[in-house]
Amino acid sequence: MSLKEIEYEPLLPIEFTRPLQTIDICIASVEPKKTNDILKILSSKLSMVDMNIGHLKRIKKSEKHEKLLDVIINTSADVSKTEKDIKELFKNNNINEDAIKDFRLCQASKYPAYTKSQFNEWKNVWPMIFKDHDSQHNLKLSEEDLEKAKKWLNIALEKAEKDKSEVPNNQFNNCTIIVDPSTSKVLAIETDNRIKCNHPLKHSVMECIKTISELHTKKDNLDSENENEQSNKRRKLNTEIDSSQPYLCTNYDLYTIKEPCIMCCMALVHSRIGRVFYLKKNENDGGLESIHQIHIQPELNHHFQVYKIKVKQ
């Protein structure tokens, strides 16, 4: 099997994938002429950002009252209290309390829209402000990235296929490659060695991390040797890895056939991997889309980008 035309799907944080959820907002209708004064008071006392609804527009044309505008007051469900408080506030600011009427509850999106399609759907509930997070998060892959993904995944598939003949009936057959994208150098390429070594934890991801750590310790040993003994090997290692970096896989790319399991995903957090590309879902134990989403788990101190690579239909 060899990949020809491929496409990708970034595995995104919940913000990008969540469906519409609404909250109650308290609104009232105001005369357009008085709007400026009213908005000034409202935004100083009840700021949209403070109420966690900075993603909503404050004002829209009223559908219920012709020629009036509907304005968001707050997110309280107690309409009569809100009405009382606002009228009091208006009185203190010399605004006629008749300028505002019909305090009522209305629905709006609870969360900001992160994608255009969320925005197009959710703004119908109540008008929203849209910030394009897609480009901000830089989750788009360039043509070059995609070409590289195809190249490395094809190498992984080839190596896994070869391993099949060496280890027959291996239900764990897999191959992982870790690449430094700044040099395009392969730092580790490993198959799943659970059967070969009779060791249930020798997954290809763990084996790759081990290989890279050995490059680091070797390099350190060579570095401490006499300068005269500087070998070609050392020079070669020097160009491949930077052992001064604090974490093993910082900014590295990982290509693998199967979605890494939970253990391997957390090992990648501990190693500070940059990006992960994979082909197949791991239904039973996958840590990126199947069971957990470890790469975006908010409580963890490192997050990484994940791309699921698909064959173009």
Partner 1 sequence: MEDIIEKNNENKNESVNHQNEDKETIEKFMREALIQAEEAYDACEVPVGCVFVLDNEIIGKGRNRTNETKNGTRHAELEAIDMILKNHSPEVLKKCTLYVTVEPCIMCAAALRLMEIKKVYYGCSNERFGGCGSIYHLHNESYEIESGYLKEEAIMILRKFYIRENKNAPVPKKKSNRILKTEIM
Residues near partner 1 (CB under 8 A) are 198-201, 206, 209-210, 213, 216-217, 220, 243, 247-248, 261-263, 266-267, 269-272, 285, 287, 292, 294, 297, 299-301
Cα atoms found within 13 Å of the Cα of residue 94, Cβ hemisphere only: 0
Nearer to partner 1, 206 or 309 (CB): 206
- Closest separation between CB of residue 256 and Zn ion, Å? 9
Q: What angle do CA 152, 156, 162 make, to 5 degrees?
A: 145
What is the per-residue burial (b if ≥16 Cβ within 10 Å, else e) of 30-47?
A: bbeebbeebeeebeeebe
- Closest separation between CB of residue 93 and partner 1, Å? 45
Q: 25: helix, coil or strand?
A: strand
Question: How far is Cα of residue 283 from the mean position of the Cα atoms in its chain?
Answer: 20
Question: Binding residues for Zn ion, per CB under 5 A?
Answer: 203, 261, 264
- Which amino acid, residue 265? C
- Closest separation between CB of residue 124 and partner 1, Å? 37
Rounded to whole angstroms, the Cα distance separating 26 from 24 reads 7
- Closest separation between CB of residue 256 and partner 1, Å? 16
Nearer to partner 1, 57 or 210 (CB): 210
Q: Answer with the entry of Zn ion, partner 1, none that 196 interacts with (C-beta below 5 to 8 A by kind).
A: none
DSSP 146-179: HHHHHHHHHHHHHHHHHHHHHSTT-TT--EEEEE
- Closest separation between CB of residue 261 and Zn ion, Å? 3
Nearer to partner 1, 52 or 221 (CB): 221
Nearer to partner 1, 74 or 176 (CB): 176
Nearer to partner 1, 165 or 301 (CB): 301
Q: Answer with the entry of Zn ion, partner 1, none that 217 interacts with (C-beta below 5 to 8 A by kind).
A: partner 1
Q: Answer with the entry of partner 1, Zn ion, none that 162 interacts with (C-beta below 5 to 8 A by kind).
A: none
DSSP 225-241: S-GGG--HHHHHHHHH-
Q: 60: helix, coil or strand?
A: strand
- Closest separation between CB of residue 192 and Zn ion, Å? 8
Nearer to partner 1, 149 or 267 (CB): 267
Nearer to partner 1, 141 or 261 (CB): 261
- Closest separation between CB of residue 11 and partner 1, Å? 18
Rounded to whole angstroms, the Cα distance separating 53 from 110 reads 7
Q: Answer with the entry of Zn ion, partner 1, none that 292 interacts with (C-beta below 5 to 8 A by kind).
A: partner 1
* DSSP H or E segment with residue 299: none
- Which amino acid, residue 250? T
